């Protein structure tokens, strides 16, 4: 197990996915401290550029560890900002860390056949449409039907365009769908991925598809997320054994609300102290505490995202680690880094 502290992404790294004019706008409004990064859903606040770059940096740190051969897969607890488009923010997402990872894989590592799997309650429109015409980015997205929920996209007939037709799988679910329906539909995702034999898998597993989210209507338990994660690990391991390819990076979007801790029902809670620049002791303590609760999970590395606190004294917020078991006795872990908004 290799815990790792994230680094902020450089501007040129962010621009692997986003256009330069948009990145400049985020930077400008970050200094200004207010404004809108889209048509109103995604507000700017003091330090928004640095906080968003930290999320992208965590994803790239995980990617670098996988591509260096140190690990097979990593887990980024804060990430999966899948609504941001190349030219704009959207749906509270500023920089699209998954998009940056995909474009980095292809431009800098020569990995062309990439699978993007998304089980967030919302359709990952910020990944689907940029790659809608790309026949070597395989998108599988299970989400609540867009007729009932933002962003209103992801219909089953959206399967890619041109040469990419058939390389995209959208599975909209009706409000109220739970584990049984998810696991039934997951078989379609597994067969879809096996058919394309991706070299790399990027997984977005937003917690808002779990039962109890105040803005959505799916009824998953953590068992659904565990089933998907383990299924992808099996697929990656199977293709790796056969071809030497198919490595995996796991990114997770933790969209929390006041009932989050009750929904995860932790058996143990660890709260390292605030992490501040130069406070090496606190940083080491946080890494030690995170690593202490990870051995049960089939994950090789965890990237701890550390973000500036725009409301404080430019310090860093505490990392929270919660551990417990679901109804089936499966181990589960959530690592949260509170990102406070102005």
**Residues annotated as part of the active site:** 83
Any idea what the Cα angle at residue 128 is, between residues 123 and 129, rounded to 5°? 120
**Total residues found in the chain within this entry:** 342
Q: Which residues contact 193 (CB under 8 A, 6 or more apart)?
A: 115, 117, 138, 140, 201, 232, 235
Q: What is the DSSP code (8-state) at residue 319?
A: P
Report whether the peptide linkage leading into residue 292 is cis, meaning its omega lies within 30 degrees of zero: no
What does DSSP say about strands 320-325 and 331-336: parallel, antiparallel, or unpaired? antiparallel
Q: Which residues contact 250 (CB under 8 A, 6 or more apart)?
A: 73, 74, 75, 76, 203, 205, 229, 232, 299
3-state SS assignment for residue 140: strand
The closest alpha carbon to 117, from 151, 134, 142, 99, belongs to: 142
Return d(Cα 104, Cα 272) in angstroms, integer.
32
Q: Which residue has the tokens 């606040």?
A: 45
Return d(Cα 237, Cα 17) in angstroms, integer.
28
């Amino acid at each position: 197990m290799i815990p790792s502290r994230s680094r902020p992404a450089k501007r040129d790294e962010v621009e692997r996915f986003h256009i330069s004019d948009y990145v400049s706008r985020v930077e400008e409004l970050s200094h200004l401290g207010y404004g809108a990064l889209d048509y109103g859903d995604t507000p700017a606040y003091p330090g928004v550029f640095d906080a968003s770059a930290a999320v992208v940096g965590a994803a790239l740190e995980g990617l670098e560890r996988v591509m260096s051969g140190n690990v097979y897969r990593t887990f980024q607890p804060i990430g999966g900002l899948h609504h941001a488009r190349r030219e704009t923010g959207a749906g509270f997402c500023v920089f699209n860390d998954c998009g940056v990872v995909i474009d980095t894989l292809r431009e800098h590592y020569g990995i062309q056949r990439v699978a993007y799997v998304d089980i967030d309650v919302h359709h990952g429109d910020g990944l689907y449409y940029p790659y809608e015409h790309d026949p070597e980015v395989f998108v599988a997205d299970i989400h609540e039907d867009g007729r009932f929920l933002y962003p209103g996209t992801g219909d089953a007939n959206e399967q890619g365009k041109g040469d990419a037709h058939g390389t995209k799988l959208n599975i909209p679910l009706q409000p109220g769908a739970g584990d049984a329906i998810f696991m039934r539909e997951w078989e379609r995702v597994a067969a879809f991925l096996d058919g394309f034999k991706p070299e790399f898998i990027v997984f977005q597993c937003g917690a808002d598809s779990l039962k109890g989210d105040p803005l959505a209507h799916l009824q998953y338990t953590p068992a659904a997320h565990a089933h998907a994660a383990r299924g992808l690990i099996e697929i990656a391991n199977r293709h790796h054994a056969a071809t030497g390819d198919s490595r995996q990076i796991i990114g997770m979007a933790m969209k929390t609300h006041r009932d989050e801790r009750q929904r995860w029902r932790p058996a143990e809670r660890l709260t390292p102290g605030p992490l501040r620049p130069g406070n090496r002791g606190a940083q080491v303590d946080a890494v030690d505490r995170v690593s202490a609760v990870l051995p049960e999970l089939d994950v090789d590395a965890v990237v701890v995202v550390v973000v500036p606190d725009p409301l404080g004294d430019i310090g860093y917020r505490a990392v929270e680690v919660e551990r417990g078991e679901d109804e089936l006795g499966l181990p589960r872990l959530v690592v949260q880094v509170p990102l406070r908004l102005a």
